[in-house]
Amino acid sequence: MVYQRSSALFAEARKYIPGGVNSPVRAFKAVGGDPIFVKSAKGAYLYDEDGNKLIDYIASWGPLILGHAYEPVIEAVIEKAKKGTSFGMPTEVETELAKLAVNMVPNIDKIRFVNSGTEACMSAVRLARGYTGKDKIIKFAGCYHGHSDSFLIQAGSGAVTFGSPNSPGVTQGTAKDTLLANYNDLESVKELTKANKGAIAAVIIEPIAGNMGCIIPSDGFIKGLRELCTQEGILLIFDEVMTGFRLGKGGAQEALGIDADIVTFGKVIGGGLPVGAFAAKDVIMDHLAPDGPVYQAGTLSGNPLAMSAGLAMLTELEANPKVFKSLADKTAYLHKGMEEVLVKNGVPHQINRYGSMMSVHFTDEPVVDFASSAKGNNDTFKKYFHGMLRGGVYLPPSAFESYFLNDALTYGDLDFTIKALDNIVDELK
């Protein structure tokens, strides 16, 4: 494939945008080469500025669960845009989306819309601190909850890919209130709670992690976390920016059968437009301004275009819950096919999968946390990424990212992807 125009556009972008991108993982730092500039997309396919067609496995990092340019979503946005794009005032569609989300997700009474997953997680932690009167939080190495200061302590995904897991600009004062535990290691959490008795407001976690690749919680880990938080008077925050409305109507809470105290959302809830949200029971949400003392605000929060897109998306998902099984079945099919190719050719690997999330790690060891994810062979991953790209398949340009399948993918697309891997597998040995 030829990428002359993408390379030229990247060179031009670097003159005016730091690194030529507005989010670091897009810069291909982890895999080398110049990023692909997209011109358009439809269904399961991307069309780049050089005229190449690519099968897409990132789905805009998760929200396009039904595929690109899904007609009901596009129509909803167009019709709403004709009436105005932003008012800084309440609109009926905000309540419509809130009511639908509350009815779909277990264990929440109210939801507040914001503009991104970062903002949702930042606000959830502030609410937890305000509700409990405590300062410290526990996060897990490799889990990424956005780029606010409290979370850039061994963050996963973009922070690791970019090589700055502890970002300059985060003060020591902020860092001291963020305690770091190991994913799938309940004992590490117990040690922190014991050493900081009565000082921890919340534990925040990706219940199924997606920012160190797809990492599945071990048996009893999330249940044990729930029990520990209840015992210690700590709020449990599920970061469902990736998993919310993707693993099922009720997200990870429903899939795992575990209730969180606060849940954050993003991605799917905006149908591909910038949006985030956080939600909880009344007893917690009533501490939020204007009803309570915990302040959070945003001129573009509840933006009518984003709300309309989200309402169209969630309406489709509620009406057709079979889509979640369809997605999971397609992901399992892709997993099986890729595994057969890699095993047959003796390529050391691990494939992790949960629902419609999946990742491939080039290592002999099971990948269960950040440390084991970091042991993957990045040189092999680079060959894999670029080989698949040459074959017409666009994967996340980082070994620390999950794949997100969309339901517009056909089994023919999956077979094409498996064949593309078979064509390059000798390069991976």
The residues spanned by each domain of the chain are: 71-319
Residue 68's CB is within 10 A of a number of other CB atoms, namely 22
Task: Using pLDDT thresholds of 50, 70 and 90, give the confidence band for residue 276.
Answer: very high
Confidence check: pLDDT of 314 > 50: yes
Task: Using pLDDT thresholds of 50, 70 and 90, give the confidence band for residue 117.
Answer: very high
Phi-psi region of 401 (alpha: psi -120 to 50; beta: other; left: phi over 0): beta
What's the confidence (pLDDT) of residue 147? Answer: 82
What's the confidence (pLDDT) of residue 161? Answer: 35
Confidence check: pLDDT of 95 > 90: yes
> Could you tell me which residues come within 8 angstroms of residue 330 by beta carbon, excluding any fewer than 6 positions away?
356, 405, 407, 409, 411, 414
Angle between helix 304-319 and helix 71-81 axes, rounded to 10 deg: 150
Which of 48, 56, 177, 239 does the annotation list as catalytic?
A: 239
Task: Using pLDDT thresholds of 50, 70 and 90, give the confidence band for residue 153.
Answer: low
Residue 374 — φ and ψ, nearest 5°? -70, -15
Which of 45, 131, 144, 354 does the annotation list as catalytic?
A: 144
What's the confidence (pLDDT) of residue 175? Answer: 73
Query: How does the average pLDDT of the chain come out, rounded?
Result: 94
What CATH code is assigned to 71-319?
3.40.640.10
Task: Using pLDDT thresholds of 50, 70 and 90, give the confidence band for residue 20.
Answer: very high
Confidence check: pLDDT of 154 > 60: no
Confidence check: pLDDT of 160 > 60: no
What's the confidence (pLDDT) of residue 31? Answer: 95
Which of 134, 136, 139, 267 does the annotation list as catalytic?
A: 267
The SS3 assignment for 69 reads coil
Q: How far separated are the first and last CA of the chain, in Å rounded?
A: 23
What's the confidence (pLDDT) of residue 162? Answer: 36
Confidence check: pLDDT of 284 > 80: yes
Is 144 catalytic? The answer is: yes
What mean pLDDT do residues 298-318 have? 97
Confidence check: pLDDT of 352 > 60: yes
Confidence check: pLDDT of 132 > 70: yes
What mean pLDDT do residues 169-179 have? 78
Identify residue 13 by its one-letter amino acid code. Answer: A
The SS3 assignment for 340 reads helix
- Which residues sit opposite 203 in a β-bridge? 138, 236
Task: Using pLDDT thresholds of 50, 70 and 90, give the confidence band for residue 176.
Answer: confident
In the chain, DSSP finds a helix count (H) and a strand count (E) of 15, 14
Report how far residue 47's alpha carbon sits from residue 426's, in angstroms, rounded to the nearest whole number: 28
What's the confidence (pLDDT) of residue 174? Answer: 73
What mean pLDDT do residues 52-59 have? 98
- Strand 276-280 and strand 350-354: the pairing is unpaired
Confidence check: pLDDT of 159 > 70: no
Task: Using pLDDT thresholds of 50, 70 and 90, give the confidence band for residue 148.
Answer: confident
Confidence check: pLDDT of 344 > 80: yes
